[in-house]
Structure 1
Amino acid sequence: MNSIRKTINEYINKIDKMLSNGKFYNYIEYMVFPHYKNLEPNSRIELNFPMTILIGKNGSGKSSTLHAFYGAPKGYSTGEYWFSTNIDPIVETGDSERNRYFYGYKENSKSYIKEVRKARIKRSESNIKKADLDYWETTRPSITDGMIPLSDKNSRNNPVVKDVIYVDFRGEISAFDKYFYFFEPRNGKKQDYLRKHSKFLSKIFDGDDARYGRYPDNKLFDKLIIMEKKHIEIINKILGKNYIEIKMVKHKVYEKWGTSIFVKTGFKSTYSEANSGSGESAIIKLVYKIMNAKPFSLILLDEPEVSLHPSAQLRLKAFLLNEIINKKHQIVISTHSPVLIQEMPKESLKLFETNITGKFSITNGVTTQEAFYNIEDDVSDKKTIICEDISAKILLEKVLTKIRKIQYFNVIYVHGGAETIITKYLPVFATNDDFQKTMYIVLDGDKNYEKRYDIESLSLSVLESATTLEEYFKESTNCVINGYIDGNKGHGREDQKIDVYKQSIKYHYNNVYYLPSKSIPEVIILNSNYVRNTYGNIINKYSNINNINAKEIVKEITNSLHGEINDDNYRSTITILSNQFAKEENSNCIRIIKIIDTIFES
């Protein structure tokens, strides 16, 4: 497994370099949805990595988005997968409600962006073409949709030219399964029907004349495909099998058109799709399609993890990345699989969520942790942030809410201030492997002495001296650790003291953070446009806001809000001001977000 993951990381790095060096042609850079199904208006997907992964719970718009991508290139239509019926009518009232999307693509690295708009337009019948209620047309650019205007207002860009391969793994049903699970014979048992007609399928696989009844060969099946050795090797690698021969054919031996496979293994056994797993059939068909795809194709995969073991999913991901390297494909995948998400760069991950209005929102560039947590029903392994006062707790929680990471954290404040946290809590966290991964400390900025020591870079003489380690820790925190060391004839054990200080210095380096600008929370939230605009009469009485007067200023604002200063009203004021602060894009908010992201991704 580790070797495969290493290979995947190597592939990702290589693809990154290929992309920056302009190796991809007819590359779709982004897609925007001014009005499309149930997506939030003007939702946008950035395709800044050639394998794009759509993550989200069922019914969050991922498959609908794949249908839009399917209809983007020349000669393809979204209407093939999304169309109006009496039961599920597509209701559009006026041009503003017309379902549409547009995308930007580059023919090569030196060309400019060409934007193409596709809109659902009901086509009336003419002498040339039949009526089509679900016709999607390439239209002129729309400035109101946010598109780039063209010099000729009546012109339009041509759609991107790419072959499209679309595979919905939930619908990949073999010919045998189609009949066995969805048809009933007119007479007798379905087993008897399958037994009788399988002899014709056997003849097809043997290359013999398979006609029967009213069906000649060319009406009974398409061309028999005998897999090449290189295809078989890839399929074996993904599935962990030992096939030496694979045949595949599309036929209607079992009433309706479907695909059958026939395999021979190195153990001299043979079987068809009737006795294979659905994952086997799906991977065999997928590998054949992708290996025969033209360079620079658009490959769309809907839940490829269906019926695949996690190890097979991992090897499938490696195969897809390698095909991007070999043929410069663009691949878009809809998935719920943590295996397919892991290792992928955040640029490739797109998170689909249902917002409070019932619309589907899209977030570009999420981390693998965010993506993984989203497809879980509950976050069981939250990280904990310890802070020194209630104001810091409220501030951090408001910023976490803003960036939609509140569900991944517990924020706790402890009594006793920074010194208690450093001398009592930090050594416990530092000397416990589990706590090192889950417990983090965020102290007020006025406790930041701007000294951090990487334990890995300290000399051996420092690491072997408890006295020197103690000095280093004190320089970083202005504190000395007491306790946690066994007695030894009235003196602490030197070896244990060394170990505790080494672990504590390491923990301080990796797990302890400080609020920005060397400020306490009150200073940070008072330095906002909201406070200046709303409470200017109070703020203007002070020449500046600092760590000494900030709490008094908050008390004055509390008095103006509540008419009385007490602990509950003070907390209420901090909550209001923190909420407004988190809504603004200011340097301190950005720096707090960076701290949270660092903890989240660690």
Structure 2
Amino acid sequence: MDIQKSDIDSLEERVKKLSYHNYLPTLRMSNVRSFEHQTITFDFPVTAIIGTNGGGKSTVLGAAAIAYKSVKPGNFFPKSNIGDNSMANWRIDYDIIDRSVNASGIFTRNARFASAKWRRDNVPDRPVIIIPIQRTVPANEQNRFKRFIGMGNETDITTSAIDTNVSACVSRILGKDASGYERITLNKDPNKSILVGMKNANDYSQFHFGAGEASIIEMVSQIEEADDNALILIEEIENGLHPLATRKMVEYLFDVAKRKKAQVIFTTHSEYALDVLPPKAIWGCIDGVAYQGKLTIESLRALTGTVSKDRAIFVEDEFAKDLCCEILRQYAPEILDQAEIHKAGGFPYVVEVLKHHNTNPTIKNKAVAVIDGDNPPLAESNDHVLELPEGAPEAVVFGYIEKNAETVAGLVQQRCQCPAISQDQIVATIKQVAIDTTDHHLYFVKLGERLGFISEIIVRRGLCSIYVQNAATELAPLVSSLKEKLND
């Protein structure tokens, strides 16, 4: 289930061409909880909603759910007889694809709260799978398992093996063999069942499962049983999971989106859940405003003003963060002491994040964005948006190292921690990587592999430090602008 760039491209293209029988491309919320006027577009079939507590993650999930007939609005947005007077103005508008309703394209529907009642007209039908946060509650604390507690043996039961496809998917997510699981169902009440497993030739029931173990089996079972073109909604996908299992779960959802033409929306607080997603697949919710882009959980702290330092620098990705950090370390250490550098997603998302930050009257710390040097011109001028030297930053740094390989080989040997490799061999390896590599994002991982499986992070930071050390003239305008904008 490893994700390739071709997988992302093909899924993006499917959404772009609207090649679905059922899909929810857009929703617009007016006065719904903390959202006054907010549009969310689902430009990728697997979408993550991140945000601060109370920022609006669950609101987006619920708004998507009630676009369809099978979900009652009160399940996500119940009306209390105390304190919910403001619900009278709630409205959600949808752009919807449902070929059985409109074979040619998109049509619109809405859900609104009027006269103390939710109203939806001509609501389309679609399979909707809702996987709530309660899934990780231990079995002994859930009423549906009470029938299985007791010392006497239950004999009127049916035992069935977990579907082999489900077991295979669970095994890949958890990183262990899941083929020994079975489901036991009460014949008197087929709606009640419990999982059992085998460990060292001993049976053990769901009462003794780990929190994530049962959760993953149930989640995957529901998803695999769902019809094609379903909408799958998952609250806090990382709940009960090891960080690596969280990433594998998201990789599995890519596979589901591809195989079953499903649309998946999940909320999360985990960076691991965001690793494989493209920027357009991530929405960050902060105080009733949602921003699209590869925001990190860390960057949300800056957007809400909760940073430990009084300056913020927003960049596009991890490489730009390392490069900017090195530039400041060598040429403006006083700024590095005052500023936090945050990944905020690719262009143009990073510019939108900066705009929100600098126009928020409650945030006092100053901020700039440093964008990559290969972006198109800004749609509107912004003197707090600065630019790295022209070209993709990875190509600029590696290009300098490759061009000056004979001169800098000794520094590469030192800073990439490979003293056993001769300088001549380092030069030859750099030249060969430059020839073999067509994707500039892979320069550093490939060089690390060929220099003796050195960590990409060590190689990347080592080469950045060499480039910055020797590019004082080229970097002077950026350093000057950073000092000016962050100290004015």
Q: How far 1:308 sits from its partner (Å)?
A: 0.8
Write out aligned runs for 1:211-230 (5 A): 226-230=161-165
Q: Which residue of 2 aligns with 1:194?
A: 149
Contact 1:336 1:375 in 2 (8 A): no
In 2, Cα distance between equivalents of 1:323 and 1:453: 37
Moved runs in structure 1, 4+ residues, more than 6 A?
A: 250-254, 374-377, 379-382, 405-411, 441-445, 459-466, 500-503
Pair 1:325 & 2:261 matched: no
Contact map agreement 2:284 2:290 (CA 8 A) in 1: yes
Contact 1:454 1:505 in 2 (8 A): no
Q: Identify the residue that residue 456 of structure 2 maps to in structure 1.
A: none
Output the amino acid matched with 2:106: I
Three-state SS of the structure 1 residue aligned to 2:284 is strand
Matches within 5 A, 1:391-402: 402=355
Aligned residue number for residue 84 of structure 2:
90
Match of 2:50 in 1: 55
> What aligned pairs does 1:465-544 form with structure 2 within 5 A after superposition?
504-505=466-467, 513=475
Q: Provide the rounded CA distance (Å) in 1 between the counterparts of 2:242 and 2:19.
A: 33
> Where does 1:155-554 land on structure 2 (aligned, <5 Å)?
158-173=122-137, 175-178=139-142, 194-196=149-151, 199-200=153-154, 203-205=155-157, 207=158, 226-248=161-183, 259-265=193-199, 267-354=200-287, 360-368=288-296, 384=325, 386=328, 402-404=355-357, 454-458=399-403, 504-505=466-467, 513=475
Structure 1 letter corresponding to 2:399: D
Contact 1:351 1:364 in 2 (8 A): yes
- Counterpart-to-counterpart distance in 1, 2:211 and 2:297: 30
Partner of 2:7: 11
SS of 2:181's equivalent in the other structure is strand
Give SS of 1:282's match.
helix
- Does residue 30 of the first structure (1) align with residue 26 of the second (2)? yes
From the superposition, tell whether residues 118 and 249 of structure 1 become closer, same or farther in structure 2 (CA, over 3 Å). Answer: farther
Deviations 1:425-478 (A, max 9, x none): xxxxxxxxxxxxxxxx98999xxxxx9993244276777999xxxxxxxxxxxx
> Structure 2, unaligned stretches of length 5 or more?
310-320, 335-340, 342-350, 369-385, 391-395, 412-461
Q: Secondary structure at the match of 2:173?
A: helix
Provide the rounded CA distance (Å) in 2 between the counterparts of 1:263 and 1:453: 52
Structure-2 change in CA distance of 1:179 and 1:378 (3 Å):
farther
How has the CA–CA distance of structure 1 residues 178 and 456 changed in structure 2, closer, same or farther, with 3 Å as cutoff? same
Tell me the amino acid that sits aligned with residue 150 of structure 2.
Answer: R
2-structure distance, mates of 1:314, 1:162: 28
TM-score normalised according to structure 1 size:
0.52
CA separation in 2, counterparts of 1:510 and 1:107?
57
Unmatched 5+ stretches in structure 1: 123-132, 139-157, 184-189, 208-223, 355-359, 391-396, 412-440, 446-450, 467-499, 526-570, 576-602
What residue identity is the alignment partner of 1:270?
D
How do residues 87-166 of structure 1 correspond to structure 2 at under 5 angstroms?
A: 88-92=82-86, 97-107=88-98, 111-122=104-115, 134-138=117-121, 158-166=122-130
Judge conservation of contact 2:111–2:118 (CA < 8 Å) in 1.
no
Which residue in the other structure is 1:528 paired with? none
Distance 1:112 1:10, change over 3 A: closer
Q: 1:444 to 1:7 in 2, by over 3 A?
A: closer
Q: SS state of the match for residue 48, structure 2?
A: strand
Give the secondary-structure state (helix, strand or coil) at the position aligned to 1:11: helix
Q: 1:76 and 1:176 mapped to 2: Cα distance?
A: 28
Q: Is the 8 A contact 2:230 2:263 kept in 1?
A: yes
Secondary structure in structure 2 of the residue aligned to 1:287: helix
Distance 2:297 2:254 in 1: 21
Deviation at 1:299, TM superposition (A): 0.2
Mapped partners of 2:40, 2:6: distance in 1: 25
Q: Match of 2:377?
A: none
Residue 155 of structure 1 corresponds to none
**In 2, Cα distance between equivalents of 1:508 and 1:204:** 78
**What is the TM-score when the length of structure 2 is the normalising length?**
0.63
**Whole-angstrom CA distance in 2 between matches of 1:510 and 1:199:** 78
Which stretch shows the higher mean deviation, 231-240 or 302-311? Answer: 231-240
Q: Which secondary structure state, in structure 2, belongs to the residue aligned with residue 454 of structure 1?
A: helix
Distance 1:280 1:465, change over 3 A: closer
State how far apart, in whole Å, the 2-side matches of 1:91 and 1:72 are.
Answer: 23
Aligned 8 A contact 2:236 2:266 in 1: yes
Distance 1:465 1:175 in 2: 60
**CA shift for structure 1 position 110:** 8.4
Query: CA 1:43–1:22 in structure 2 vs 1: closer, same or farther (change >3 Å)?
Result: closer
Quick one: which amino acid aligns to residue 116 of structure 1?
A: R
Residue aligned with 1:286, SS: helix
Distance 2:398 2:222 in 1: 54
Q: Give distance in 2, aligned partners of 1:259 and 1:510.
A: 68
Q: CA 1:444 to 1:276, structure 2 compared with 1: closer, same or farther past 3 Å?
A: closer
Q: Secondary structure at the match of 1:263?
A: strand
The answer to whether the 8 Å contact 1:23/1:328 transfers is no
Deviations 1:65-124 (A, max 9, x none): 2111111123332222321234x542148xxx42210111234698343121111245xx
Q: Give the greater-gyration-radius structure (CA).
A: 1
Contact 1:379 1:408 in 2 (8 A): no
The CA RMSD over aligned residues, in Å, is 5.0
SS of residue in 2 equivalent to 1:104: strand
Deviation of 1:365 after TM superposition, in Å, equals 2.2
Residues 1:461 and 1:173: Cα distance change in structure 2 (over 3 Å): closer
Q: How many residues align?
A: 380
Shift of 1:344: 1.2
C-alpha distance in 1 between matches for 2:222 and 2:144: 26
- Offset at residue 513 of structure 1 (A): 4.5
Instruction: Note the C-alpha offset of 1:38.
Output: 2.3
Amino acid at match of 2:85: V
- 2:277 aligned counterpart, secondary structure: coil
Q: Which residue of 1 aligns with 2:440?
A: none
